[in-house]
Structure 1
Amino acid sequence: MKKIVLLFSSLFIISCVSNEPKPIKLNVDTCEFCKMTISNGKFGAELLTKKGRYYKFDDLSCMLLYAKENTNVQVQSFFVNDYAKDNTLIPAEQCFYLRGGSINSPMRGNFAAFASDKDQDNFQKQLNAKTLTWEQVFTMY
């Protein structure tokens, strides 16, 4: 009987681990890497570990530098804010990216992420920025 209870308890705990982002509390949460308060909803980022711990960042560059420097942290998911929708986290691997031009992020990573290629195209003209894929962004750091 104890084994059955243990099995169900373990399954319950495992099923409670989510792969969803936790909202960033602007002007409250601090960046895990640079320790600055996260205040801009266009550039925040979040890392979810395989153990279910969330790390929040004020810039995509902070998240990438943290992940590369802390190789003992096993990453399950990366999330970035959608530049077109203030403070809305989306999976980083599925995003369309811009860099440079008139993009001015908190720690000068100067990346903007978008949920759709249409938004990326519209903002590319406005921001005069270069298009990138997640693979290109990830390997830059």
Structure 2
Amino acid sequence: MKNLSALVVLILTLVSCSMEKQPIAYGEDSCDFCKMTIVDQIHGAELITDKGKVYKFDALECMLNFEADMDKEKVGQFYTNHFLNPGELIRAEEASFLITENIPSPMGEFITAFPSQKEAEKVQAEKDGEIYNWEALIKQQNH
């Protein structure tokens, strides 16, 4: 019986520390940085700590500002919604980002994610702006 109890505790611990992204409940969830209700399915974002705690944001810039105040060792994964399939979360480190005033975003920094640079370039041809990868976006935001 003692072994069974230990096994149950171990399983519960592993499940509670999962680093799985969670769906954003648009119109219900609040941004963990600015506290606004998350309604925009193109610009939402999510940060997961290395212990599995999920933080949700209404815009990439909120996630970046929130993360800047965190202990870097605690960040596990970054996710972002993207322009081509609203509501879908993709890994931010693998995305390309277009900053253009021709695509409004909730916090007014005009950052929009795309699953690839090629897709970002297609929209850039119509909407202008500058394209960044994840590292360049972080540097640009920290200037």
Whether these two folds match at TM > 0.5 is yes
Matches of 1:106 and 1:93, distance apart in 2: 21
Between stretches 33-42 and 112-121, larger displacement belongs to 112-121
Matches of 2:127 and 2:20, distance apart in 1: 30
Per the alignment, residue 98 of structure 2 pairs with 98
Alignment check: 8 A CA contact 1:101 1:129 kept? yes
- Structural RMSD (CA): 2.2
Matches of 1:24 and 1:92, distance apart in 2: 16
Determine if the alignment matches structure 1 residue 14 to structure 2 residue 47: no
Determine if the alignment matches structure 1 residue 43 to structure 2 residue 43: yes
Per the alignment, residue 63 of structure 1 pairs with 63
Cα deviation 1:8-33 (Å, max 9, x = unaligned): 85366336643331111111111010
Please give the residue correspondences for 1:88-127 in structure 2 after superposition, counting only pairs within 5 Å: 88-127=88-127
Following superposition, the deviation at residue 128 of structure 1 comes to 0.8
Distance 1:73 1:25, change over 3 A: farther
Distance 1:56 1:73, change over 3 A: farther
Unaligned runs of 5+ in 2: none
Determine if the alignment matches structure 1 residue 80 to structure 2 residue 80: yes
Distance 1:126 1:18, change over 3 A: farther
Matches of 1:8 and 1:28, distance apart in 2: 33
Matches of 2:116 and 2:109, distance apart in 1: 21
Structure 2 counterpart of 1:63, one-letter code: M
Structure 2 length as normaliser, TM-score? Answer: 0.86
Alignment check: 8 A CA contact 1:100 1:129 kept? yes
Give the aligned length.
141
Alignment check: 8 A CA contact 1:67 1:73 kept? no
Unaligned runs of 5+ in 1: none
Matches of 1:61 and 1:116, distance apart in 2: 19
Structure 2 counterpart of 1:94, one-letter code: E
Structure 2 counterpart of 1:64, one-letter code: L
Structure 1 length as normaliser, TM-score? Answer: 0.87
Cα deviation 1:56-111 (Å, max 9, x = unaligned): 00000000000102337711000000111111100100001111241211011211
Matches of 1:134 and 1:72, distance apart in 2: 16
Distance 1:91 1:39, change over 3 A: same
Per the alignment, residue 53 of structure 1 pairs with 53
Following superposition, the deviation at residue 50 of structure 1 comes to 1.2
Following superposition, the deviation at residue 129 of structure 1 comes to 1.4
Between stretches 27-36 and 112-121, larger displacement belongs to 112-121
